[in-house]
């Protein structure tokens, strides 16, 4: 027997072994007797994602729509099986009633990066403890104390629109300035000039960069953690991380040298730290500063998703002039009630405006899917055993557009949200649900309502002919984003 023959036999046997292992991997849902999308070896169901033709949300939505009679559907994130949830009752059990079995998010590779020592990555009692402490930063009273800072940021927003009335206005750019101002002011207590605002915005937007290489980076981080750690990949690019660390360092130095305390989230975190509620952590010989890391998440997580939601809201309101007039009437009536002034209480009373934002987020949820990880073995009412470590996904885009829960789902109808009983809260989850819901959702809603109310009060607007219709979503984006710019034409109201 020659060496060449031995090598050939060895290679064939290895290939056969890999093939058998793959067959076993991809028989996972078949053995569980769960309907599933047929996978491609090594790639699972992610081929269209790799070809940049579909988003991750599209894959999970396809699983949802492919089996309308099933409560759950199986899919494969490359080699890893993931369970797609379809049934509202099961969703409620997993995110609320039986939360103790599913209290963990899907962790990602982010050694020392954006998500380290944050609510996204922490598990079990460590997560529970930090969540309880951070809840105190997002009470109505704390938000009310920040309201005047937010109100000041709307002046620049209105002026930017007013100085471009003759132009087709790219609303993403205009709103980026507004949201950067609010993030800088309410998170770090700083005011940005035009140059600083541009740099600040660019840094945040680069985190969620939608270039093809960035998509592959995120896929590796989410699905191949060991490889991502070896390659040193993190959610936050290195240059943004350096910028953020320096910004937070300067803020902390300034607070140390100043007796006057600011109304912002960094100050609230410092207050918690002074009371011993936030501690430095040692992890892999690295010292993790909770104020630094939580500050970075507030910086990133509160900017891009909110900006996108406001862009989509203006798009829908521009398409529906009658709804626009109804909002304008509500805003003016409530302002008259409050002496013509924007106050925290006035914004809270703008119910119809909030319903319009809610309906927008039904069409375009901030995140198109939610993840959970089984932390304790669980058996569903139908006898399906979900093993510890199993990943689950809730496809919000599909749930929000299912006619079973939202009649005429493609119709923009804010009155769906006239009462909570008017819709199934387990099928409408734009901010997540249960104990793992978005901590900053109250802040985000005030930020959006304030900016939109000021715009609608001061200007009438419509879609510019420059806007490409029908609206398409960017398949390469992690969050819901328009594929092309949305342009509006504004007219000042007397």
**Quick check: 187 and 302 in contact, CB under 8 A?**
yes
How far apart, in whole angstroms, are the C-alpha atoms of residue 274 and residue 291? 11
474 burial (CB, 10 Å; 0-12 / 13-18 / 19+) is middle
CA neighbor of 321 nearest in space, from 412, 450, 416, 415: 412
> Would you call 184 helix, strand, or coil by DSSP?
helix
Q: E strand or H helix at 463, and its extent?
A: strand 459-463
How far apart, in whole angstroms, are the C-alpha atoms of residue 343 and residue 25? 57
Report residue 473 as tokens: 């979503």
What DSSP state is assigned to residue 38?
P
Phi then psi dihedrals of residue 190, to 5 deg: -120, 155
| Other CB atoms within 10 A of residue 215 CB | 20
DSSP string, 236-248: S-HHHHHHHHHHH
What angle do helix axes 441-458 and 321-337 make, rounded to 10 degrees?
100
How far apart, in whole angstroms, are the C-alpha atoms of residue 216 and residue 218? 5
> Is 438 flagged in the annotation as binding?
yes
Residues in binding site for heme? 438
Residues in binding site? 438
């Amino acid at each position: 027997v020659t060496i060449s023959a031995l090598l050939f036999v060895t290679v064939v046997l290895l290939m056969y072994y890999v093939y058998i292992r793959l067959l076993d991997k991809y028989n996972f849902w078949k053995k569980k007797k769960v309907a599933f999308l047929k996978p491609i070896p090594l790639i699972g169901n992610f081929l269209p994602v790799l070809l940049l033709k579909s988003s991750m949300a599209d894959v999970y939505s396809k699983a949802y729509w492919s089996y309308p009679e099933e409560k759950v559907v199986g899919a494969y994130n490359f080699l890893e099986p993931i369970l797609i949830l379809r049934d509202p009752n099961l969703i409620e059990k997993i995110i609320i009633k039986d939360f103790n079995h599913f209290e963990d998010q899907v962790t990602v590779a982010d050694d020392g990066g954006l998500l380290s020592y944050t609510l996204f990555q922490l598990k079990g009692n460590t997560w529970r403890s930090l969540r309880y402490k951070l809840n105190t930063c997002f009470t109505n009273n704390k938000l009310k104390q920040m309201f005047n800072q937010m109100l000041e940021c709307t002046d620049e927003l209105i002026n930017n629109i007013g100085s471009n009335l003759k132009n087709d206005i790219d609303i993403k750019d205009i709103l980026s300035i507004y949201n950067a101002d609010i993030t800088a002011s309410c998170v770090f207590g700083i005011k940005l000039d035009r140059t600083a605002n541009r740099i600040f915005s660019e840094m945040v937007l680069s985190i969620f960069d939608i270039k093809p290489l960035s998509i592959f980076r995120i896929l590796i981080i989410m699905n191949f953690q060991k490889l991502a750690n070896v390659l040193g990949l993190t959610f936050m690019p290195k240059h943004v991380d350096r910028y953020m660390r320096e910004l937070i360092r300067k803020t902390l130095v300034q607070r140390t040298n100043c007796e006057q305390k600011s109304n912002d989230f960094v100050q609230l975190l410092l207050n918690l730290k002074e009371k011993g509620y936030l501690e430095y952590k040692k992890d892999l010989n690295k010292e993790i500063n909770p104020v630094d890391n939580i500050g970075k998440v507030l910086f990133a997580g509160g900017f891009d998703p909110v900006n996108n939601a406001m862009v989509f809201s203006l798009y829908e309101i521009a398409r529906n002039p009658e709804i626009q007039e109804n909002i304008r009437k509500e805003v003016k009536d409530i302002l008259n009630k409050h002496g013509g002034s924007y106050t925290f209480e006035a914004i809270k009373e703008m119910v119809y405006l909030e319903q319009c934002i809610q309906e927008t987020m039904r069409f375009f949820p901030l995140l198109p899917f939610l993840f959970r990880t089984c932390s304790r073995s669980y058996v569903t009412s139908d006898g399906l055993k979900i093993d510890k470590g199993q990943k689950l996904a809730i496809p919000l885009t599909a749930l929000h557009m299912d006619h079973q829960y939202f009649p005429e789902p493609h119709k923009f109808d804010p009155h769906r949200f006239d009462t909570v009983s008017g819709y199934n809260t387990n099928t409408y989850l734009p901010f997540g649900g249960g104990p793992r819901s978005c901590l900053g959702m109250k802040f985000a809603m005030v930020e959006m309502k304030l900016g939109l109310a000021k715009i609608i009060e001061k200007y009438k607007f419509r879609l510019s002919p420059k806007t490409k219709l029908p609206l398409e979503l960017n398949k390469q984006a992690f969050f819901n984003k328009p594929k092309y710019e949305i342009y509006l034409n504004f007219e000042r109201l007397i």
